């Protein structure tokens, strides 16, 4: 049934109306399957994140767990669970973006300057699809579940973000690839009334990634992501370095910076230390040996 999923979601996206202009809520990049790096469709990824904005003295520390599970012969499910500690310094959410506060968030909500909570669970699926004029691409469907809390907005909320993205991988040599990404976000409001609909804009995403593979679990990468959510824009440039860690694991270092320089950004700098454990059974070479 997965070959019909992209078409169904495209129709759904076209029929759902967008919201009003608002700030940019943070959404993590899709965990694309990378066969050139021998990553597996059965994996566990543990990330330690630090998001920092010196202009507003906002800091976020986060632990993010991502579970990747096989779905059929070629696709993969993924499930993400974050735990966040958000320090707003001397500028609260209501002071920085008063127009995103809803009826239930008046009188200085949220009242804490330092907030710790589990964040929004996100579930999705990735897999191959054939598109007219483009040929074979990877698609991703992702949905944030209305769980967690609105108090750590813009890094998580009880809204329902729905994403459809496509990625085209272009070989540039034996070990180098260019990945081009295009997608659309339809963002449904939070089920609570602490935040206004202005807090959840919809919009499109364009991205590019260059990767240099150096064997199983080892690669260098550069990324660029552009987002426009109803005139709220972001340009994020990043670099990452993955190293082989044992027979099944990888250790990754990531850094990204916001280039747009607007007040809409969730953070100015993004730092990540990641560990990934892949199952050998569902790596591409192992699958080729299966009858």
Q: What is the per-residue pLDDT for 283?
A: 86
Q: What is the per-residue pLDDT for 10?
A: 43
pLDDT tens-place values along the chain, 291 residues long: 444 444 444 444 334 444 334 579 999 999 998 888 888 999 999 999 999 999 999 999 999 999 999 998 889 999 999 999 999 988 889 889 998 998 888 887 888 899 999 999 999 999 999 999 889 999 999 999 998 899 999 999 999 999 999 999 999 988 999 999 999 999 999 988 899 998 999 999 999 999 999 888 899 999 999 999 998 999 999 999 999 998 899 999 999 999 988 888 999 999 999 999 999 888 886 444 333
Phi, psi of 91 (to 5 degrees): -120, 105
CA dist 95 and 99 (Å) reads 9
Q: Dihedral of CA 17/118/61/238: which sign?
A: negative
Cα separations (Å) of 191 from 21, 183, 187, 217?
A: 19, 25, 12, 40
pTM: 0.88
Q: What is the per-residue pLDDT for 23?
A: 79
Structural domains of the chain sorted by starting position, each given as residue range(s) with its CATH number in brackets: 2-288 (2.40.160.40)
């Amino acid at each position: 049934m997965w070959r019909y999923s992209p078409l169904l979601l495209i129709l759904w996206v076209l029929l759902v109306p967008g919201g009003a202009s608002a700030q940019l809520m943070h959404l993590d990049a899709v965990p694309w399957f990378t066969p050139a790096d021998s990553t597996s469709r059965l994996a566990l990824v543990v990330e330690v994140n630090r998001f920092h904005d010196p202009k507003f003295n906002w800091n976020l520390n986060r632990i993010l767990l991502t579970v990747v599970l096989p779905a059929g012969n070629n696709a993969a499910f993924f499930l993400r669970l974050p735990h966040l500690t958000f320090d707003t310094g001397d500028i609260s959410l209501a002071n920085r973006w008063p127009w995103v506060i809803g009826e239930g968030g008046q009188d200085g909500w949220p009242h804490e300057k330092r907030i710790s909570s589990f964040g929004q669970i996100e579930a999705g699926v990735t897999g191959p699809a054939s598109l007219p004029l483009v040929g074979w691409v990877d698609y991703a469907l992702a949905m944030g579940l209305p769980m967690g809390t609105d108090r750590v907005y813009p890094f998580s909320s009880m809204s329902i973000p729905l994403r459809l993205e496509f990625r085209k991988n272009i070989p540039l040599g034996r070990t180098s690839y260019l990945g081009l990404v295009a997608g659309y976000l339809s963002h449904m409001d939070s089920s609570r009334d602490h935040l206004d609909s202005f807090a959840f804009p919809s919009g499109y995403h364009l991205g590019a990634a260059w990767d240099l593979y150096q064997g199983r679990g080892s690669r260098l990468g550069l990324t660029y992501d552009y987002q426009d959510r109803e005139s709220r824009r972001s340009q994020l440039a990043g670099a990452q370095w993955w190293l082989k860690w044992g027979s099944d694991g990888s250790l990754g270092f990531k850094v990204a910076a916001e280039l747009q320089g607007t007040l809409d950004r969730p953070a100015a700098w993004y730092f990540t230390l990641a560990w990934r454990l892949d199952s050998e059974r569902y790596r591409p070479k192992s699958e080729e040996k299966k009858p």
